[in-house]
Amino acid sequence: MQVDIDRLWQYHEAGKLRHGSHPDRNLHVWCYSQATVYNREWDDITRLCRGLVTDEQGTVISRPFPKFFNWGEPEAPNGQSHVNFVAYDKMDGSLIVAGLDADGETVVSTKGSFTTWHSEVAREMLTGIKPSPGTTAIFEFIDPKNRIVVDYKDFSGLVLLGATDMESGIDDFDPNAYADLIGWSGEVVVRRNINLLNTLNTVQDPTAGENREGFVLVYPNDNGPAARVKIKFAQYINLHRMLSRLNNVAVWEALMGGTFEALLEAVPDELYDKVRECADELSSQHASVVQVAQEDAVTATCGHTTRKEQAEWVLANCEDKSLVFKVLDGRDITTLAWASIKPELDREWAFLR
C-alpha cells in the first residue's frame, strides 16, 4: 500500500496528525492528534493514521485498524442491530502494531512512537514472532505499570486482537486462526456472544460490568476495513473520569494554564462532547471579559486626558475595574481574565454516564 507522503506532512503541519521517527531507520509512525478528535476532523487520512507506519516515500509498513468510534457517535455504525457482527472484549491497555519492513524484519510501534517503554517491552515479547507477509499484526499491551482503569492483576503481556491485510485493508481475521498462522502462543482476545439490544441496556447500568471496559463489535467487510464500534460500560467511563480527575474546574485550569491538549489525552472518548461544551462556554466567557475590558479602556481614554480622570471614569462605570486598569497600563490580561471566571465545581460531573 502506498500513501501520499506529502499529504501526511501537510496534515502534520496543520496539527491534524502526530508524528514519530524511528531512531535507526527511515521510518515514520503517524497518528491523529487530540485536536483532530476534539474537532471531529475525520477523513480518509486521519482515520487511517491510528499508528500507521510508512517509509520516506509513503510505502506502508504497518496498517493497524482504522479509527473507530463509540456507539452513539455520528461516525459509528449505529442502528445496525439487524446486521450480523462479531463481538470481542474491549481490552484496556495500549495498542501495539507489528509490521514487516522491506527486509522482512518486524517493526514494532505504539500508536505514536517506536521508542516508548511499551513498544520496547512489546518488541522483546515478540521475539521470534513475525506477522504473516502482507499483513499487520495488532496487539494490546497489558501491564500493571500501564493500568488505565481495569485491573488485570499481575498479568503482563500482549493480547492478540487480530490483523489487517496491507493492500485491501480487510481486517476481520479470526484472532485465533491468525495466532495459529504466525505461531503466537500468547493471549488472544475473547470472543463474546451478545444480544446487542440487551447489551446496550446493560452497559448503562452503573452497577454492571465491574472491572471490564466493554465490547468491540466488528461488522465484516469482504472488500475493505470492517465497520467497528466500541460499547463501554457506564461504570468504566465514570471510573476513567474520576481517575483522570475530570470536572469543569479541571477544564478551566487546563484552559488557563495552556495545558488543554494534555488534558484531552486523559479524557475518555465518551466525554469529549461534555468537555467540548464546557470548554466552549468557558472560552466564550473569557473572550467576552477580555473584550469588555479592552472596550472600557478605550472609552476611559476618550475625553479623559489625565490618568486621574481615566481612573475616576473606570471606578464609576466599570464592573471589572482591575482588568481595565491593567489594559490602561499596557499589560496582558489573558491569565487575569481566566482567573476572573473560575467556575464553581459542578457536582453533576460526578455522575456522568
Distance CA 284, CA 337 (A): 12
Question: Is the distance from CB of 163 to CB of 132 less than 8 angstroms?
Answer: yes
Q: Using CA atoms, how far apart are residues 283 and 266, in angstroms rounded to an integer?
A: 20
Residue 288 is given by DSSP the state H
Neighbours of 332 (CB within 10 A): 10
d(CA 317, CA 147): 55
End-to-end, the C-alpha distance of the chain in Å comes to: 40
Are the C-beta atoms of 36 and 82 separated by less than 8 Å?
Answer: no
Q: Give me the residues of the chain with pLDDT under 70, please.
A: 79-82, 350-353
Residues 346 and 333: their CA atoms lie apart, in Å, by 26
Q: Which pTM was predicted?
A: 0.79
Q: What are phi and psi of 316, to 5 degrees?
A: -90, -20
Enclosing H/E stretch for 18: strand 17-21
pLDDT for res 82: 55
Q: What is the pLDDT of residue 353?
A: 45
Distance CA 233, CA 15 (A): 32
CB crowding 140-173: b at 16 or more within 10 Å, else e: bbbbeebebbbebeeeebbbbbbbbbbeebbbbb
Which among 146, 58, 144 is positioned nearest to 96, based on CA atoms?
Answer: 146
pLDDT at residue number 79? 62
172 vs 84: CA distance, rounded Å: 13
Written as one letter, the residue type at 223 is: N
DSSP annotation string for 234-284: HHHHHHHHHHTT-SHHHHHHHHHHT-HHHHHHTS-GGGHHHHHHHHHHHHH
Does residue 2 sit in helix, strand or coil? Answer: strand
The pLDDT of residue 81 = 55
Collect all residues with Cβ–Cβ distance below 8 Å to 124 and sequence separation of at least 6: none
**CB contact at 8 A, 213 and 149:** yes
Sign of the C-alpha dihedral computed for residues 249, 253, 256 and 260 taken in this order? negative
Asked if 129 and 157 touch (Cβ cutoff 8 Å), the reply is no
The grid coordinates of residue 252 equal 478551566
Q: Which helix (H) or strand (E) holds 168?
A: none
Q: Which of 17, 20, 74 is nearest to 48 (CA)?
A: 17
The predicted pLDDT at position 323 comes to 94
Helix ranges (H only) for the chain are 5-13, 34-39, 44-48, 117-125, 175-182, 196-202, 234-243, 248-257, 260-265, 272-301, 307-317, 321-328, 334-340
Q: Which domains does the chain have, with CATH numbers?
A: 63-233 (3.30.470.30), 248-351 (no CATH)
Q: Given this model, what pLDDT does residue 342 score? A: 93
216 touches 90 (CB < 8 A): yes
